[in-house]
């Protein structure tokens, strides 16, 4: 069973304006591969606020591929994988909006939200933002770099699996009352946690 952490950065307030994607593969309790790709948004409109967050400017992506070509590179990796993102509602809305923009069908996959998992597993943390979880775990990274965010999401998920004695990251949901999200060609189901 493959597990891949994913993180998107966007050029502006539109969810379909992905300008970079980071991916981190989890195998046998460790991060084995990290990739980042810049993405040229269709309309190339960058907001100052988004640039201030991630530092990506129009000139950085002018020679990059657009969303479909970038994501097609990883199509085989995604097949049958469990995906994970920190605040998955955001990252999966970016993925869906970008696919919608290019009139492409959704891939078939299951996904988890490491933010919801952290809130359930580490309720005593004052905040469950990715940078503060990284600090708690002693992980150093450049926040809002898609590859580094994905790698820290993956590392945090591995620590959460250890915390609940799960055999693997994809086994965490059944131990904490989480229903994994689903993306299918026809539909989208959010990742949810039982109350209590």
Phi, psi at residue 22, to the nearest 5°?
-120, 145
In percent, the amount of the chain with pLDDT more than 90 equals 89
Say yes or no to pLDDT of 39 above 70: yes
Say yes or no to pLDDT of 156 above 80: yes
Q: DSSP readout, 123-192?
A: TTSS---HHHHHHHHT----TT-HHHHHHHHHHHHHHHHHHTT-SSGGGHHHHHTEE-EEE-SS-EE--E
**Calpha distance 96→77 (Å, rounded):** 18
Confidence band for 140, pLDDT divided at 50, 70 and 90:
confident
For the stretch 62-95, pLDDT in tens is 999 999 999 999 999 998 899 999 999 999 999 9
Q: What mean pLDDT, rounded, does the chain reach?
A: 95
Question: Are 112 and 174 a contacting pair, CB within 8 Å?
Answer: no
pLDDT at 67: 98
Structure tokens at 21: 């994607």
Structure tokens at 110: 């299951």
Structure tokens at 28: 């046998």
Structure tokens at 32: 């084995």
Output 101 or 142, whichever has higher pLDDT. Answer: 101
pLDDT at 112: 98
pLDDT at 185: 86
Q: pTM of the predicted model, to two decimals?
A: 0.96
State the average pLDDT over residues 110-134: 95
pLDDT at 196: 61
State the average pLDDT over residues 19-42: 97
For the stretch 3-18, pLDDT in tens is 999 999 999 999 999 9
pLDDT at 80: 87
């Amino acid at each position: 069973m493959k597990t891949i952490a994913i993180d998107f950065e966007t050029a502006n307030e539109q969810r379909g304006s992905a300008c970079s994607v980071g991916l981190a593969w989890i195998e046998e309790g460790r991060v084995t591969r990290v990739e980042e790709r810049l993405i040229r948004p269709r309309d190339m409109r960058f907001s100052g606020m988004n640039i201030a967050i991630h530092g990506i400017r129009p000139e950085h992506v002018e020679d990059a591929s657009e969303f479909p070509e970038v994501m097609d590179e990883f199509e085989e990796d995604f097949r049958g994988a469990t995906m994970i993102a920190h605040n998955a509602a955001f990252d999966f809305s970016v993925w869906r909006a970008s696919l919608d923009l290019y009139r492409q069908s959704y891939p078939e996959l299951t996904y988890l939200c490491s933010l919801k998992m952290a809130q359930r597993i580490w309720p005593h943390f004052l905040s469950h933002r990715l940078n503060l979880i990284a600090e708690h775990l002693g992980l150093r990274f450049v926040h809002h770099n898609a590859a580094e965010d994905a790698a820290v999401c993956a590392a945090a998920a591995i620590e959460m699996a250890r915390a609940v004695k799960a055999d693997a990251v994809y086994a965490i949901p059944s131990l904490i009352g989480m229903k994994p999200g689903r993306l299918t060609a026809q539909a989208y189901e959010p990742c949810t946690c039982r109350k209590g």
